Structure formats: C-alpha cells, structure tokens
Structure 1
Amino acid sequence: MGSYFKISLVTVAITLLLESSTLEAHQSEVDNVGSKLELGRVGQRVSIPTHLKNSPSRWGQNEDVPSGPSSLYNGKNLPVNPPRWGLKENVLSGSNLLHNDDLLVTGTSPTLIQKLVTDLNGAFALKELGPIHYFLGIEAFRDSTGLYLSQSKYISDLLYKVKMTGAKGCSTPVAPRQTLSRSEGESMEDPSIYRSTIGALQYLTITRPDISYIVSKLSQFLQAPTVTHWKACKRVLRYLKDTITYGICFRPGNSRTLTLQGFTDADWASCPDDRKSTGAYCMYLGSNLVSWSSKKQHVIARSSTESEYRALANAAAEMVWLKALLKEMNIPVQQPPIIWCDNIGAASLAANPVYHARTKHIEIDVHFVRDMVLEKLIDIRYVPTQDQVADVLTKGLSVERFLKFRNKLKVVSSPFRLRGNVEPSVISDIQSFSEHEKGVS
C-alpha cells in the first residue's frame, strides 16, 4: 500500500541451518524429518533431533552472516528473533521471512534488496528465483489491481487425496445455522482421514478466511470424529471445489490516509456440548483484511452481552498489537482504530461505568477495553447486524448473506493459474521451486 513493494524469492542452501562440519553427518536425519511432514498430517508426533531443533539459532550465531551498516541492518546481524528486520528510511524499506532454507525478501527499495541478496550470496550458496509466484503452497499474482494470494493447486491436491475431484460443488461451506455436537452420528471406522483433512484445511485458511468458522468448528472433534462430522467436512471440500480459484486480495491504497478498523461478533452459547460461545474478529488496514480469528471462547458466558464483550476485548488486544507492529514498521496510522460491534450493551459498557454490578464477572475485560477507550487508543462503535462482517466467522449464514460478507473479506477469484494463462517463464519458476522443495524434504 502506498509505495510499491517488490517481493523476491531466494533459495538458501541448507548449510544456513547446520554447521558445515555437521551437514553431511546429519543429512539423512534432515531427509527423514522432511519425509514425515506430509500434507495435512496431524495428530502424529514427529521426533526432531535436538541438534536440528537448535539449528535456526545457529543462523544468528554464524559469523559469516553479513553485518552491514546500521542504515541497512540496524547495526545487527540478520536476527532469528524477531523474524524480520526494518530499514529506518522514510517508511518500511525491507523485511524478510525465513522458513527453513527459503527466504522472502520485500521492500520499497530494490537497491537495498539487491544488496542484501548480494551480501548473503557472499557467505552462502544462494539461488535467486526472482519475483514471487509460488511459495509454500501459496500462489501469488500481482497486477495493477493488487496482489492476489490463493492456493488452487493445494486444493486440487487435497481433493485428489480424498478422492473428491469429481464431487459436485456447493455455494456455501456450511448450512445456515447448522449445529454440530460430539455425540451426533456414528463413530468413523478410520478417523485418520478426517484428522489429516482438517489439518490441511487449517493451512488453507491462510488465504481463505471464508472457511475459518467451519474449520475451527470441525477441529473440535478431532479426538472422536463421527460420520456426521465427516459429512460436514466434505461439504467444505465441495465448496472449495466450486471456488478453487478464490483467494485473498490486497488492493493498493494511500499510505497517508491509512486507517485501522475491525469488526467483532459472538454467537452466544452456540456449542450444544458445553454452551460456550463462538467469538470472532476481522481487522482491516485501509480496505484490506490483514487479521482474522474464529474460535470457541474458553469460559461460559451468562449473557449475550458478556460473550460479545469477551470477543470485543480479544479484538481490542489484536488491534493494539497491530498498531504497535505498524509503528515499528514506520507505517503511520493517524486516527484511533475503530472496532465495530453489533451489540448495543457491549458497546455501552466500553465507556459507561454505570453497569458495574452487572459486569463483575468480566471486570478485567471491561477495564481493559475501557482504559483503551479513555486513552483514545481505540474507538468502539455500533454497527447493525446486517452489516456485521464478523458474522460470517461465527455461524452458518444464508447464501445471500454469506456471499455478501465473503466479498467484504476480500476473497475473490484470482487471475493466477498454474496452467493455462500463465506465462511459460512463471510455470518454469514454479516447477523449479517445487522440485527444490521435494529435494529438501
């Protein structure tokens, strides 16, 4: 947003993670661990040797890691904690994410990005793959309209794995107001397929916030899934088949008028097993969705206002964290962030101490939110239920309302394709990266 950010993909030799003297000795262990980390494999413990667990810390201890001038690296080696570095020129100029041996480098200064790659290449074996197109199962496409992130190949592989490539699609991932319980339906003979599929769907929520609610709900039955739960899971897969090209989109905006705002909602006593509520929030930077959550609350709420206020407190904590992160990245947010809530009682509690007798059981949350409101760190406002975007993260909705809120979540069809209208050079990059991933694992 604002300045154009270049995103490049760099492959770093595995010697970054292990001392060169021990690389050959432990290569078989690396291969063995990698072979266990298959798509969506959950519920199984993977034993990783201690010397491999500690290998990321050796990256920061390695004297060969380039240490540039303070204007480039803040006078420090490239750190492991925190997993990013920022340049203090104007706005954010660069950052990196490290995943094993693959780096994403982004920033507004191509010169500084190239300097980083050059410095790293002087110490380690690197292969620069150019602008990002495919990374860890996530497809990236960029044009004048924005940046599109999707996982169509990942969905295709998942559908093939569960033998649903020929399934009929559906328009929503969950039936309206559908409730699921632990005791509903007969137990599955082989629950492993359910667990692995849910594990894969959890990773898919990175680019598909529209399935966050139902994936969170189905994750609550991993211990003893039933045929009913598996049927609900297959409905999600049918929906994904019908929207396989969809993903999250980020549109460019004006950095001088950036605003933070969020929506928070709760579905009171929605769980039939323990009557706990489902809370959710979604956060926007400008017009772009940057953070979202949907999960069951930890305690039972005695009223809808209490459940809504707990969700509001969680959203406020996330909002404060986002604001601090943006400040650290030198991205200014001029106005106090706004959180929209569709419960008048919860919105009133944020600024009105008259309700003290009714709020003793949620007193910490009340004081936490009220203090931030008084200090003008956040602003709580009321929004009608029909405009509450977070509603799609707390329950199943009708087709019309679901599609309306899905658009609000910026989940749209991506122009990116692994086959067809993708340039041959892009396909070549994706294939070479996929072969590299297979070689590492």
Structure 2
Amino acid sequence: MTHASFFVSRRTLLAGLGGLTLAGTWPRRATAARKTMTLRAALAPIMLRAGAEPVTRPALLWTDTAPLQRGDELTVRFENALQQPALMTFRGLDGAAAAEPLVARRPVPPGGTDEFALTLRSAGTLLADIRLGADSSGAPMPVLPLVVQDDRPLQVDGDEVVLIKDARLGPNGQPLAPGTDAGDAEWFYTINGKPSVDIALRANGRFRLRFINGCQRNVIAVRIDDHDVRVIGLDGQSAEPFLARGGTLVLTPGGRVDALIDATRPPGSTSAMTLLDGGKPVPLGRLVTSSEPPLRAAALPPPTALPDNGLPAQLPLGSALRVELPLGALTPGQLDWFAPDTFTPASGPAFQAKRSRTVVLALANRGSQPMVFHLHGHHFRLLDRLDDGWKPFWLDTIAIDAGQTQRIAFAAEHPGLWLMEAFAAKWSAPRLVRSYLVT
C-alpha cells in the first residue's frame, strides 16, 4: 500500500540517523592494477525544473571510463577549468594522506592542474567533492560519485547511483553559493541531474541503488513506497543488512546509503520516491517495474553482508582517548575552528593520538541549529547513549541536533594530520575546519 504524504520534522530526520581487535588487513588482488583517473571541474548546464531553460553551474566530470576496484593503485589528475580555485576532497577513502586537502593538497587555481597517487583501500560508494573552501566561489560546487567494486561482487540485476543535489536561484535566475544569505530564493532538488527520474526494475530482480546526498547543507530523507528497502552499506562501508523503517533512508550532506530493492511488485506497477527535508514532501521520481517477464521464478533469498573492508571488529573503549569537541554556538573553546581559506597545518591539532589507540569524540552541539560533522582519514562508530556499545555500521559523517551530544569512536590507524569539518544544516552557515594528528 502506498504511504500517504506527510511532513517530517528536522528533529525526526536527525533521530533517524541514530536508529540505524584493532586494524585488520584488507583483502587485495594478488597484483594491484595501476590506473589513471582524470577529474575535470567545468561549467555545465543543468535543468532544475521540467520544461524550463537549463542554468549553468559548476560540474565535476570523470573523463576516464575504466572501472575502479579495491586495491587499485590510482594516479589522480584534477583539472580546474572553472574561473575560481577548486580543492579536491575524497569522501570514504580512509588513510589517503597524499590526497588530504589543505594538508597535502592546496586549492587548484583557474586553468591549473594537480596530480597525486593513492591506493583504493576500500570497495564501496565514494565521493569526489570540491565543496570545501567554496563558500566564496559565487556558485555551489559539485560532487561526483565514484564506485569502487569488490573482488567478490554482490549478486544483483542492476546497480545504479542515485545522486540528489539542491540549488537555490537568486533574482537573476543563477545558482547561489552556500554560506551566503539566500533569503526567499527558489529552492530546487535534482536527481541524477534531472528534476525527476524513473528507475527501471524487473519482477523478481534484485537492484542495488547507491543513494548520495549531494546537497550543500541539507539533511534529507528519501522514502520509497511499496518496497522493502534493505540497507547494506553506509558512507562507503559495508553494514549488516537491515530494513529501513518505513522504506525511508536518512542522508547527511555528503552521506551515502547503499540499498537493495527486491522487485516484488507486479509487472507494470510504479512506486513513488519522495524527498523529505522537514518541509513539504518533494516528488523525486518513481521505481517502475517492467512489463517484461520476471527475471526468475521467485525473488532471491535475503542477502548476506558485503565483504568488509578490514575495519576493526572491536574498539577498546575503556582505554580510549576521550575528547570533547563543542560545535554550534561560538565559545572560547571553539576559537580554533577555521574557515578553510584561513586554515594552515601550523594552526595546531584539536587533539593527537598514538597510532592504534581508540579515540572517543563527544560532539556537543551548543548551537540552535543542527550541526553536521565530517571526519577525514577514518570511519567511526556511533556509540550508544550509555556509551556501552555502538551501532552496527560505520560512518564518516553525522548530524547532531541542537542541544544534543553524540559520541563517536574510531581506531586511529592512519598516521598523519587529518581534517574535521563542521557546519550548521542551514544554507547560510559557514563551513569550518579543524585538524587532528595521529602519530
């Protein structure tokens, strides 16, 4: 039965995020493949509303088509064809010190290039992101999904990225940059670069949909009617499969959710996909079950978990380094948060940890707006409220409601200086950074 349309509050969206031996080795092929990937930032047209004229905004393009696989040794070439500097960030790629923005990599000037090498340690849904430091760019900067396949791929009949972005148009009809006051500017969402899409299914097939929140600041949810939605991965890491409550997936900005859909609806049927952001529900598109004969006589059995990427099975919390990080309203303890264009590695880390030690961060939101926190270099566990266990999945980004504290834990396995990002879930909020050091 189709769910009736309803409003979801911002607090409900944030609550949905929580409802969900140190370093092992990560499997690799006997011989790692060496590949080159070229990413190009350039202006491109996008249609924000059906039948309307496209608007021009920055886009990020992958100009190489070779598939990526865990264990690949990758040379990344970034070309900036925009009229303002751009800084590349990779979300979901732990331990990539050579790619760390503002530490190993600096913004690339207009017409410039940058090149560096890294190893694809993990299989999963990654994200190339040039939004860091873009608040003063004059236009919203883009993201680009990167899919890294595993040596033992999951049995599916289709695998599709579902990228959701937002835009706010000023009086001149051009997209506004985040970090600025948008007033009553028009707000649009796109899905895979269009106002809406139909995603084709086939009866008794199994389909992997990689949902990505490419919005600038917004925490969103996507509700899928008439289907069981089984989560198998979060933020590029595998999760023990579980059913999303009410077919609804909650995504932080930059967050990724890999979901399996078993097409059990009759051939020719359609099911709505709806975006929820705390306001009026926004139609995104439909799942359309083909009228072709079923792919098999019956649906596949429940899936097993994806192969893990070698993250630790246990985190010894008793001996952990514990650090409180205030977020939100500016206090004397927060004066070390910097705008990206004023940060330098010499600014000093918020904390430092010995390699292989567990770190517990208490993220205390003292502001009046929900805050989004993104950790570079490592994935983390979301701890239970009583600090006596953790949720059965890994994350690299989390949202914390106003006045709330969330505790996260990670194994400090990758030496180096790494960034942390924080910003309010509000279009006009500035993006801020700090660093931490693993020795």
Is this a same-fold pair by TM over 0.5? Answer: no
Which structure features the higher share of strand residues? 2
Shorter-chain TM range is: under 0.3
Which structure features the higher share of helix residues? 1
TM-score for both structures, normalised by structure 2: 0.26
Q: Which has the larger radius of gyration?
A: 1
